[in-house]
């Protein structure tokens, strides 16, 4: 055990003292905080401040009502012909030309949008929606509905979603907040397992090719060496993750003050009766922006989530999932002489992780209680990602306990399997390993 601890200490200190580790540890929270500030900034300013000027050539005898302009699109009805406008478009102050032919109102066709540059999806969608609204209003008016009744038909609906917790009490919930946490947790889990798993593999290859391993094996057993390397790098990842949490929360307020100017701050803060508008602090701006802005509902719902539980479960699945996959990466590293030879073995190991990542961020987020989500969170190859994605939506305690138990059994089995390959492969040189050859190593006696 003392030898394993020495190896853990060496792996840990050799990595945390690197300049790249220190730089990325402090740089990543700054990037996250920057994105956080940008989200608040764009939620207040609006993503698209540009107004496109569209010349409308309406030859439709049925649609006599005009399209309604908004902050993103200004419609200008012109009497010029479509062909003449196309010839002079580059010299005119119009961005696009919208041509409305005399189509059948039940089957709109032949509508064209022409500009000197390609129209984006957002502009195309806005114009399509405007035309659809115009056609719908025409049909409703034709059926005898007045304009006043049409205006009264439009309603803004806000639903307060709640769920009954384990205690039987109602709890506020939000699909948006749960989805945000699920996506962040899934991406981080995938990134951490891949990043630190590959570090284990590269470390094994480096020691093997430099022949340092021959000296180390004379003092420690291959299993001790493998476990020391795996656990040491796991501690590096855990240290970096915890530092990211602390640093991200610490500099979030600073990011808000950078991306929101004084006028915006006064505007946001003045909307909150509980905050002084005279001289708003960064914390006040952040609180008011997230409470009164477009992200207010999500922010309030995030506060209702058990973030401490989510973080603790995330740490467990990170460590367990990392141990599960890093043992396989260590076995791959011991079987090859260079990183270029790892490709044939990497794909079978990466595919379950990629499958779990893809399905978790698509199927699981849409149906977190379905059978696919359940089995993905139980199978050790996919459970590290699937379970942390499901957790914000609420997972029964027995499912969480069963998943944890299966994953622990899984990484114990994986470590045992990988160790039998590692003990032989680590001393093999000059011979390209194959799956058949590695199978023979597994059955070798000590």
Mean pLDDT of the chain: 76
pLDDT at 279: 46
**Has residue 420 got a pLDDT over 60?**
yes
Residue 404 confidence (pLDDT) above 90: yes
Cα angle value 115/118/119 (rounded, 5°): 85
Q: Quick: pLDDT tens for 263-286.
A: 554 444 444 444 444 444 444 444
pTM of the model: 0.63
| Mean pLDDT across 130-146 | 81
* CA 96 to centroid of chain Cα atoms: 35
Residue 97 backbone phi and psi in degrees, to 5:
-120, 125
Task: Tell me: pLDDT of 89 over 50.
Answer: yes
Are 386 and 359 within 8 A, CB to CB? yes
**Mean pLDDT computed over 97-108:** 83
pLDDT, tens digit (0-9, with 9 covering 90-100), for 29-63: 777 667 766 766 665 555 556 788 888 888 887 77
Q: What is the pLDDT of residue 268?
A: 45
- Cβ(3)–Cβ(228) below 8 Å: yes
Residue 401: per-residue pLDDT: 93
Q: Is the pLDDT at 324 greater than 80, yes or no?
A: yes
- Whether the predicted pLDDT of 403 surpasses 90: yes
Separation of alpha carbons 415 and 11, rounded Å: 18
Percentage of residues of the chain with pLDDT beyond 70 = 75
Percent of the chain at pLDDT exceeding 90: 4
Name which of 240, 229, 222 is nearest 199 in CA terms. Answer: 229
Using the predicted structure, report yes or no on whether residue 94 has a pLDDT greater than 60.
Answer: yes
Instruction: Specify whether the CB–CB gap between 309 and 317 falls below 8 A.
Output: no
**What pLDDT digit, counting tens, does each position of 288-297 carry?**
444 444 444 4
Query: Tell me, what's the pLDDT at 284?
Result: 47
Name which of 313, 278, 309, 306 is nearest 188 in CA terms.
Answer: 313
More confident residue, 268 or 113: 113
């Amino acid at each position: 055990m003392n030898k394993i601890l020495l190896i853990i200490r060496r792996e840990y200190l050799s990595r945390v003292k690197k300049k790249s580790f220190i730089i990325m540890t402090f740089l990543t929270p700054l990037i996250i905080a920057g994105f956080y500030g940008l989200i608040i900034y764009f939620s207040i300013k609006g993503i698209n401040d540009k107004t496109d000027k569209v010349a409308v050539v309406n030859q439709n005898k049925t649609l006599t009502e005009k399209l309604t302009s908004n902050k993103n699109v200004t419609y200008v009805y012109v009497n010029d012909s479509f062909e003449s406008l196309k010839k002079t478009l580059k010299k005119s102050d119009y961005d696009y030309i919208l041509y409305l032919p005399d189509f059948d109102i039940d089957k709109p066709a032949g509508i064209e949008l022409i500009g000197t540059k390609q129209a984006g999806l957002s502009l195309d969608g806005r114009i399509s929606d405007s035309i659809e609204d115009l056609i719908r209003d025409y049909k409703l008016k034709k059926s005898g509905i007045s304009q006043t009744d049409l205006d009264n038909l439009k309603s803004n609906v806000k639903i307060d979603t709640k769920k009954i917790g384990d205690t039987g009490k109602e709890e506020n919930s939000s699909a948006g907040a749960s989805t945000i946490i699920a996506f962040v947790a899934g991406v981080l889990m995938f990134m951490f397992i891949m990043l630190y798993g590959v570090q284990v593999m590269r470390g094994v290859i480096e020691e093997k090719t430099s022949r340092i391993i021959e000296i180390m094996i004379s003092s420690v057993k291959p299993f001790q060496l493998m476990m020391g390397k795996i656990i040491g790098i796991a501690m590096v990842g855990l240290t970096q993750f915890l530092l990211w949490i602390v640093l991200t929360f610490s500099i979030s307020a600073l990011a808000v003050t950078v991306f929101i100017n004084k006028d915006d701050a006064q505007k946001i803060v003045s909307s909150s009766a509980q905050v002084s508008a005279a001289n708003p602090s960064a914390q006040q701006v952040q609180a008011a922006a997230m409470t009164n802005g477009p992200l207010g509902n999500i922010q309030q719902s995030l506060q209702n989530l058990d973030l401490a539980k989510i973080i603790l479960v995330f740490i467990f699945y990170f460590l367990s999932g990392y141990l599960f996959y890093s043992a396989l990466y260590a076995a791959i590293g011991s079987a090859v002489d260079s990183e270029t030879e790892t490709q044939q073995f990497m794909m079978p190991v990466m595919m379950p992780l990629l499958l779990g990542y893809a399905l978790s961020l698509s199927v699981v987020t849409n149906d977190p209680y379905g059978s696919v989500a359940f089995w993905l969170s139980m199978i050790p190859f996919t459970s590290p990602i699937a379970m942390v994605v499901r957790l914000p939506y609420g997972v029964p305690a027995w499912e969480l306990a069963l998943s944890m138990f299966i994953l622990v059994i899984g990484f114990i089995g994986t470590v045992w399997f990988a160790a039998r390959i590692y003990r032989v492969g680590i001393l093999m040189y000059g011979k390209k390993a194959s799956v058949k050859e590695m199978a023979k190593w597994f059955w070798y006696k000590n």
